[in-house]
Amino acid sequence: MAFKDLPLHKRQGVYAVYGFCRVVDDAIDEDEDLQTLYTFASAIDQLSQMDETQPILYALSDTVQRFSIPLQPFKDMIVGQEMDIVFDGIEDEAALLKYSYHVASSVGLMLLPILASEHHEQITPSAIELGYAMQITNILRDVGEDYHQKSRIYLPKDELNDDVMQAIQTKKVNEAFIQVWERLAGLAETFYDNAIQDLKYYDDDALVSITQAIVYYRGILNAVREANYDCLSQRCRVKHFITLQNQVKQLVSQAKRERAIG
């Protein structure tokens, strides 16, 4: 939704990256298909040899060459999927950020040369933090779904006292769960704030799209709050798009002013 208004060549590049990530992610999360994962992993260093018979990889090859995207983030993303194969929980905040880097920040680094062609190296740290923010948001939105449908908990183990576990298992929000949820939400919001500080470095034709991505995704956190933190029995969805779009306009204007000032 956020990237649909990019210029055609950039939109196609984003979609090519998304296609790769979607197939690799679904291979593990949906199908437990290791063969597809390893097929795509082995293709990363051979992208220039792809042809029309391999449409996703062929499109990705064109995108990587067109925008000079480094290959390491694709390899890091594969590592993230491998982490899900042998998933045994997340020990602490450091482990949470490591996991989030591999499954989310890596994607941001793939997209960065498309969206910030002149300054992508300069804003690599905030792009990594935006990946942290978005993945933590995913985790906080999907606590109940992950546990009851996939038997997984992505909240750090050192946060999971008996009261928190009782809330997750019974799908009944309690104060202990809210406290853990809000602490992690605050961490994500700090990362969102850092990413917003660097909006002025994105290409002008990508500025609205990246700002929408940040504002809409951050809006998921407020959607959970509006549902009284019940991310245990339902998936909370973003509403109030007019309000969010006004936030986008304000942030875009602010970024343009900061860019003009230099």
Inter-residue contact 13 to 63 (CB < 8 Å): yes
Phi/psi for 90 (5° steps) reads -120, 120
Does residue 78 belong to any structural domain of this protein?
A: yes
* H runs (alpha helix) in the chain: 8-29, 34-43, 55-67, 72-85, 93-100, 106-115, 124-141, 143-150, 162-170, 175-197, 207-226, 241-261
Helix (H, G, I), strand (E, B) or coil at 129: helix
Distances (CA, A) of 18 to 13, 24, 35, 57, 152: 9, 10, 19, 11, 25
Q: In this structure, which amino acid lies at residue 230?
A: D
In a domain, 252, yes or no: yes
Could you give the CA distance from residue 196 to residue 93 in angstroms, rounded to a whole number? 22
Report if residue 202 sits inside a domain: yes
Distance, CA of 106 to CA of 64 (rounded, Å): 14
Residue 256 lies in a domain: yes
Question: Residue 190 in contact with residue 205, Cβ under 8 Å?
Answer: no
In contact, 20 and 74? CB cutoff 8 Å:
yes
Q: Is 57 contained in some domain?
A: no
Q: Which CATH number goes with the domain that contains 108?
A: 1.10.600.10
Cβ–Cβ under 8 Å, residues 23 and 63: no
What single string gives the DSSP state of each residue in 77-125? Answer: HHHHHHHHHT---B-SHHHHHHHHIIIIIHHHHHHHHHH-TTTTTTTHH
- The answer to whether position 53 is within a domain reads no
Does the reported pTM lie above 0.85? yes
Q: Tens place of pLDDT for every residue, the chain, 262 residues? A: 889 989 999 999 999 999 999 999 888 877 677 888 888 999 999 998 898 899 999 999 999 999 999 999 999 999 999 998 889 999 999 999 999 999 999 999 999 999 999 999 999 999 999 999 999 999 999 999 999 999 999 999 999 999 999 999 999 999 999 999 999 999 999 999 999 999 999 999 999 999 999 999 999 999 999 999 999 999 999 999 999 999 999 999 999 999 998 7
Domain tally, the chain? 1
Range of the domain at 187: 71-261
Residue 47 lies in a domain: no
Instruction: Let me know if residue 236 belongs to a domain.
Output: yes
